[in-house]
């Protein structure tokens, strides 16, 4: 069954929606002011305490200090670090040394076969194939035809196009944020619909 992540939680009611829908992962964008979904490490920790134990908390980072990521892991605020900046293999290695047991996902902006090849070479535990940093746009899925490793599909996913993505690509996981929002706030009905679509796919 394809796993599903709901990203960009900022409010207590967002946590309520996620706890009701029960996706596999829930994401917090940490200290990235360009995003309206950005929260401080302290806020992420506070919100994660409200999260159901069945939902794995993910911290989304853009070129953050290794210690910042490690501290959130050790306090229990996150169990997965999703890296969306220029973090290289040396950074991933340093993060593994600083936070043993932390699961590391590395995001790649996919615009060409070379981008897919770079993702396949990554030593991260999983790769996120995306159109950009929270742009909410879908990239050319045809580029993923030859991908050999499991991946997280992101970028422009909505409850409406999720069934097509699952049937066509069979990703290991999907990551939704803007696609489950209304007026830049998380929408309960859309979150429930997205998770239901992912679960329905697993039953077919």
Instruction: Locate the domains of the chain by residue range.
Output: 3-203
Whole-number Å distance between alpha carbons of 28 and 22: 16
**What pLDDT, on a 0 to 100 scale, did the predictor assign at position 137?**
73
Query: What's the fold here for domain 3-203?
Result: TIM Barrel (3.20.20)
Q: What is the mean pLDDT of residues 21-35?
A: 96
Measured from the Cβ of residue 167, the count of other Cβ atoms closer than 10 Å reads 10
Average pLDDT for residues 93-98, to the nearest whole number? Answer: 98
Q: What is the pLDDT of residue 179?
A: 94
Mean pLDDT (the chain) is 94
Respond yes or no: is residue 7 known to be catalytic: yes
pLDDT interval class at 138 (50, 70, 90): confident
> Active-site residue 14, yes or no?
no
pLDDT of residue 133: 56
**Residue-wise pLDDT tens digits, 63-81:** 999 999 999 999 999 999 9
Q: What confidence tier does 200 reach under pLDDT thresholds 50, 70, 90?
A: confident
Assess contact for 71 and 41: CB atoms under 8 A.
yes
Q: What is the pLDDT of residue 202?
A: 55
Predicted local distance difference test score (pLDDT) of residue 135: 58
Contact by Cβ (8 Å): 9, 18: yes
DSSP assigned state of 149: S
Catalytic residue among 7, 31, 175, 201: 7
Distance CA 2, CA 197 (A): 10
Cα–Cα nearest to 37, from 169, 186, 164, 179: 186
pLDDT > 50? residue 45: yes
Of 1, 3, 2, 8, nearest to 180 (Cα)? 8
Q: Which of the following is catalytic: 14, 31, 130, 175? A: 130
Residue 204 has pLDDT above 50, yes or no: no
Dihedral-angle region of residue 38 (phi above 0 means left; psi in -120 to 50 means alpha; beta otherwise): beta
């Amino acid at each position: 069954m394809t796993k599903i992540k709901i990203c960009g939680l900022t409010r207590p009611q967002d946590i309520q929606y996620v706890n009701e829908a029960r996706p596999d992962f829930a994401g917090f964008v940490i200290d990235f002011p360009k995003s309206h979904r950005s929260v401080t490490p302290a806020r992420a920790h506070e919100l994660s305490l409200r999260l159901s134990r069945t939902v794995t908390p993910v911290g989304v980072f853009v070129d953050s200090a290794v210690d910042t990521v490690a501290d959130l892991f050790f306090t229990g605020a996150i169990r997965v670090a999703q890296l969306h900046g220029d973090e290289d293999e040396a950074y991933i290695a340093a993060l593994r040394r600083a936070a043993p047991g932390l699961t590391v996902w590395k995001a790649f902006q996919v615009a060409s076969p070379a981008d897919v090849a770079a993702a396949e070479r990554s030593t991260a535990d999983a790769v996120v194939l995306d159109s950009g940093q929270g742009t909410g746009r879908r990239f050319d899925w045809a580029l993923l035809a030859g991908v050999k490793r499991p991946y997280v599909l992101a970028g422009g996913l909505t409850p409406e196009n999720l069934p097509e993505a699952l049937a066509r690509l069979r990703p290991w996981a999907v990551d939704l944020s803007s696609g489950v929002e209304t007026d830049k706030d998380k929408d309960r009905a859309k979150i429930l619909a997205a998770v239901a679509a992912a679960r329905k796919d697993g039953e077919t």
